């Protein structure tokens, strides 16, 4: 029986991850602004003992092509921290991870919001640290152009350090709230940040006590060279997209090596690729379910999806049944553009072939098959250094998530690969991550250990 088990996230995206999911007859068409829909999904995932639910986000409508946008369900959705705060009240154990960009936010805001969510949820929050990747976002924040890739990542690295410093503004036991003495907090256990860097000047302290987890879990999603460097230094969980096992294994080993070289425990960096599973009791049933979704894709939507995923390079002027053209370097998501170009070249895919291939998984691994077949692939990636777990991207909601819970999870449990009950109450406990001690408390304890033992008093003669 395996001693290690999967970590599983339920990646919730409105009507589902397939670009045409909203047209599925069993989908909730208004899911993006339907709280009951999200509450129901969160409870289902918690009952199934998922480690966390995960919400992606962008601070803008990414698709600026109105004919395509008018045929997709991606333009009306909740702000993720607002939604997770509400979901915290209707769940008890499942982790709550939200994407918040470092490009168009300020560290103090992010630190305060996630600390608040951690208190509200009893220690279940996680921050997916990303850099924004689209000009549509820049134009919502008084910028004509998107910030350069290298600048975005330099800002993100400093942003992360400021947020962690703010989360450590107070030691765990700083707030004594002693009515008799009139002391609300212990002054020497307050640690203002006084940060002055290239991108930020933040005095602190944060106006929130240290959170139940010490710090919320930090998640990262970049796979470019700059993204890997940032992830190896900062991330406790990495969400990533891979097309092949060789890609997954190479990335996994590279990140674990980088973490080790930085003095980190590699097991404290959990790598969780996205998986888009279409599940059937037979292979034929799975393929019918997938074909039903594919048949709902309008061509203008497919072409625009590919344009967005290729970093904004407009492919609408090229023959849809011709090859994917050579692309200039993008200032948007570099790793995803490269992944898709490599896929097209490797399999000789046309523009139509490529948009059909990514219409569900958007570059993540897509598996259409039986519970046994899906479990086989997940087990291989897990046992052969390709993943520590997976972010499950259901094709449509709620049916796609129900299929995975009802058909795949029993097979994983039969193999001893996934829990039957939660081991703890916090997200860190679910993921097997340590609670970080406060730096000042650690330093104080070390000083006490280094003090010489007092000499024994001479005996009276």
* DSSP 8-state class, residue 201: E
153 is in an annotated binding site: yes
- Taking the C-alpha atoms of residue 172 and residue 177, their distance in angstroms, rounded to an integer, is 13
99 is in an annotated binding site: yes
Before 245, cis peptide (omega within 30)? Answer: no
The span from the first CA to the last CA of the chain, in angstroms, equals 68
- Rounded to the nearest 5 percent, the helix, strand and coil shares of the chain are 40, 15, 45
* DSSP 8-state class, residue 436: P
Which residues contact residue 444 at a Cβ distance below 8 angstroms, ignoring those fewer than 6 apart?
none
DSSP assignment of 72-105: SS-S----HHHHHHHHHTT-SSSEEEEEEESSSS
Identify the bridge partners of residue 8 per DSSP, sorted by sequence position: 390
Before 398, cis peptide (omega within 30)? Answer: yes
224 is in an annotated binding site: yes
β-pair type (125-130, 195-196): unpaired
List, as residue ranges, the binding site for FMN: 57, 99, 149, 153, 224
Residues at the binding site are 57, 99, 149, 153, 224
């Amino acid at each position: 029986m395996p001693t290690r088990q999967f970590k599983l996230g339920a990646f919730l995206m409105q009507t589902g991850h397939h670009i045409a999911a909203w047209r599925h007859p069993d989908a909730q068409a208004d899911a993006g602004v339907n709280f009951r829909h999200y509450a129901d999904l969160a409870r289902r995932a918690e009952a199934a003992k998922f480690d966390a639910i995960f919400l992606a986000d962008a601070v803008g409508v990414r698709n600026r092509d109105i004919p395509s946008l008018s045929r997709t369900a991606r333009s009306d959705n909740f702000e993720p921290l607002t939604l997770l705060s509400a979901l915290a009240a209707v769940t008890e154990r499942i982790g709550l991870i939200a994407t918040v960009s470092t490009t168009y936010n300020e560290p103090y805001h992010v630190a305060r919001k996630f600390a608040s969510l951690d208190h509200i949820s009893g220690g279940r929050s996680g921050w997916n640290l990303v850099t924004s990747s689209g000009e549509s976002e820049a134009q919502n924040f008084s910028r004509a152009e998107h910030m350069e890739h290298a600048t975005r990542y330099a800002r993100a690295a400093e942003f992360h350090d400021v947020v962690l410093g703010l989360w450590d503004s107070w030691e765990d036991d700083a707030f004594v709230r002693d009515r008799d003495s009139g002391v609300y907090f212990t002054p020497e256990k307050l640690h203002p940040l006084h940060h002055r860097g290239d991108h930020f000047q933040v005095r602190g302290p944060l106006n929130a006590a240290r959170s139940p987890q010490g710090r919320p879990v930090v998640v990262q999603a970049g796979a470019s060279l700059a993204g890997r460097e940032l992830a190896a230094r900062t991330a406790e969980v990495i969400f990533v997209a891979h097309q092949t096992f060789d890609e997954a294994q190479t990335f996994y080993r590279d990140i674990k090596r980088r973490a080790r070289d930085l003095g980190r425990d590699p097991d404290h960096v959990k790598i969780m690729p996205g998986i888009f599973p279409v599940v059937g009791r037979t292979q034929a049933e799975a393929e019918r379910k997938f074909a039903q979704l594919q048949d709902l894709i309008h061509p203008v939507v497919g072409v625009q999806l590919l344009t967005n995923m290729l970093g904004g390079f407009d492919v609408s002027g090229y023959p849809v049944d011709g090859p994917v053209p050579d692309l200039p370097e993008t200032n948007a998501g570099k790793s995803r553009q490269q992944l898709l170009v490599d896929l097209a070249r490797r399999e000789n895919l046309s523009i139509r072939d490529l948009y059909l291939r990514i219409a569900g998984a958007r570059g993540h691994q897509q598996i259409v098959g039986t519970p046994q077949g899906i479990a086989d692939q997940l087990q291989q990636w897990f046992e052969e250094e390709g993943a520590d777990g997976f972010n499950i991207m259901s094709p449509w909601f709620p049916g796609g998530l129900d299929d995975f819970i009802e058909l795949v999870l029993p097979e994983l449990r039969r193999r001893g690969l996934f829990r039957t009950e939660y081991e703890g109450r916090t997200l860190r406990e679910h993921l097997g991550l340590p609670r970080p001690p406060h730096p000042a408390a650690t330093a104080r304890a070390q000083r006490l250990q280094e003090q010489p033992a007092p000499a024994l008093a001479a005996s009276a003669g």
